[in-house]
Amino acid sequence: MTSDSLDIEFNEAVERINSYTEPFPADLLLRLYAYYKKATNNYSSPKGKKPMITAFKTNALFQVKNVTPDEAKRIYIDLVNHYFLYGK
């Protein structure tokens, strides 16, 4: 897969998640958050009103520290496709 086609597929997966109105499981949201941040090279610290949520986000980011941005995009796409195919 070329870099351009990966970017297109990644952006489509992001749009699919952003346009979905039903709630997602918390564990899926954390994984999507971490892979999105890694895929977009967004290294800003997690922010939140609740320290517990910030801690979970920080942990999720730590777990993907050795993943490349392209790998993160592919995993993000796979997570989205799997969720919408199987609902889990």
Read off the CATH number of the domain in which 40 is found.
1.20.80.10
Averaged over 1-8, what is the pLDDT? 88
Whether 74 maps to a domain, the answer reads yes
The total number of residues shown for the chain amounts to 88
Tally of domains within the chain: 1
H or E stretch covering 29: helix 26-39
User: CB burial class (10 A; 0-12, 13-18, 19+) of residue 39?
Assistant: buried
Q: Look up residue 47 and give its DSSP letter.
A: -
Residue 21 lies in a domain: no
Residue-wise pLDDT tens digits, 15-73 = 999 999 999 999 999 999 999 999 999 878 787 788 888 899 999 999 999 999 999 99
Residue 34's domain comprises: 3-16+26-86
Residue 30 lies in a domain: yes
Within a domain: 37: yes
In a domain, 33, yes or no: yes
31 falls within a domain: yes
Rounded CA-CA distance 69/71 in Å is: 5
Task: Judge whether 11 lies within some domain.
Answer: yes
